Amino acid sequence: MKSLGYYNGKIGAPEELTVPFTDRGLYFGDGVYDATTSANHIPFAIDDHIDRFFRSFQAARIPFAMSKQELRQLLCDLCAKVEDGCYLLYWHTTRGSGERSHAFPPAGTPANLLVYLTPCEMTPPEKVLTLMTAPDIRHHMLNVKTLNLLPNVLTAQQAVEQGVDEAVYHRGDYVTEGFHSNIMMIKDGALCTPPADNLILPGITRKHLMELAHKMDIPVKEAPITLTELFDADEVLVTNSGALCNRVSHIDGKPVGDKAQDLVKRLQDAYAAWFNEETHSQTFSC
């Protein structure tokens, strides 16, 4: 089976499964999600992603009933059912089903759980990306991975139409993140990132790169980054679970970076080796 779906205990091809139209995820986007990549039937960094998922649904006050271990076992069991290769492993929970009312449904209404596995190709580290800037018009709970992604969808389509790979969201002059990634930079030998506040998602890949930098004695700086500083960076980086870490060559058509390729390559090689070791695969060449 190429792609695999799961909804509240039912497993099958995604096109064969149905979700009731009373699911609050359809009414309101009233849910949270997480995702990672599975290789060789092993989901990468699954505990980090489940920890973030639990923080998200707890912040949203969703009555998700599974324990971390139960959810972990379910996700690993589903990964074992698909064919060999790399897969996007996506899951979300919504605040259950019921009549359309903005207030929470009656106490005791169970949360719904959807899981989706579909083949994917991870972006190779050597691919260099182009970006555009975009005003950040999203909400103020970006540290919670909610299903309310309409602004991200609109920005992603704008990027497609402009022929670029990703956007740099900004509030005023301050950089936040991309529409499906974190934005980092290298400056004067340090790995720099905006702080993990309520305006950015605390990306797992972002976290991993910071951990790797510490182990490699590369200074790490968590502080606000302006657009001016980003354009003047030695390197601009895009990080997410489907690509790990990629350099950027242009933002809004202007060349950026290209001053610390060796340092980025060290981080990319270390991260690729980590991924390959944990998934017992050769997804990335190191």
Q: Which residues are annotated as catalytic?
A: 145
Give CA separation, 11 vs 65, 81, 277, in Å.
19, 10, 29
- 286 — pLDDT class (breaks 50, 70, 90): low
In the chain, ranges of CATH 3.30.470.10 domains? 4-119
Evaluate if residue 285 carries a pLDDT over 80: no
Q: By three-state DSSP, how is residue 155 classified?
A: helix
Q: How many CB atoms lie within 10 A of CB 35?
A: 19
Q: By three-state DSSP, how is residue 10 classified?
A: strand
Residues 37 and 88: beta-carbon distance below 8 Å: yes
Taking the C-alpha atoms of residue 238 and residue 181, their distance in angstroms, rounded to an integer, is: 6
CATH number for 4-119 (one of 3.40.50.12280, 3.40.50.1170, 3.30.470.10, 3.30.465.10): it is: 3.30.470.10
Task: Kindly state the average pLDDT of the residues 178-193.
Answer: 97
Three-state SS string across 73-138, please? Answer: HHHHHHHCCCCCCEEEEEEEEECCECCCCCCCCCCCCCCEEEEEEEECCCCCCCCCEEEEEEECCC
In the chain, ranges of CATH 3.20.10.10 domains? 129-279
Taking the C-alpha atoms of residue 185 and residue 230, their distance in angstroms, rounded to an integer, is: 7
Taking the C-alpha atoms of residue 191 and residue 184, their distance in angstroms, rounded to an integer, is: 7
Taking the C-alpha atoms of residue 275 and residue 48, their distance in angstroms, rounded to an integer, is: 14
Output DSSP code: residue 198.
Answer: T
Of all residues in the chain, the percent with pLDDT exceeding 90 is: 97
pLDDT at 1: 58
pLDDT at 9: 97
Give CA separation, 77 vs 10, 70, 73, 223, in Å.
13, 11, 6, 40
**Nearest CA-CA partner of 257 in 276, 221, 281, 233:** 233
Residues contacting residue 169 through CB under 8 Å, at least 6 positions apart? 134, 135, 136, 138, 155, 175, 176, 177, 178, 179
- 98 — pLDDT class (breaks 50, 70, 90): very high
pLDDT digits (tens, 9 = 90+) for 1-25: 599 999 999 999 999 999 999 999 9
pLDDT digits (tens, 9 = 90+) for 40-76: 999 999 999 999 999 999 999 999 999 999 999 999 9
Average pLDDT over all residues of the chain: 96
Task: Kindly state the average pLDDT of the residues 175-180.
Answer: 97
Q: Is the pTM value of this prediction over 0.85?
A: yes
- The sign of the torsion formed by the CA atoms of 196, 52, 157, 250 equals positive
């698909």: which residue's tokens?
82
pLDDT at 202: 95
pLDDT digits (tens, 9 = 90+) for 106-132: 999 999 999 999 999 999 999 999 999
- 284 — pLDDT class (breaks 50, 70, 90): confident
Phi (first) and psi of residue 139, to 5 degrees = -75, -170
Residues 192 and 199: beta-carbon distance below 8 Å: no
Task: Kindly state the average pLDDT of the residues 27-43.
Answer: 97
pLDDT digits (tens, 9 = 90+) for 211-222: 999 999 999 999
For residue 158 the two structure tokens come to 């704008």
**Nearest CA-CA partner of 43 in 241, 227, 248, 240:** 241
CATH topology of domain 129-279: D-amino Acid Aminotransferase; Chain A, domain 2 (3.20.10)
pLDDT digits (tens, 9 = 90+) for 134-159: 999 999 989 999 999 999 999 999 99
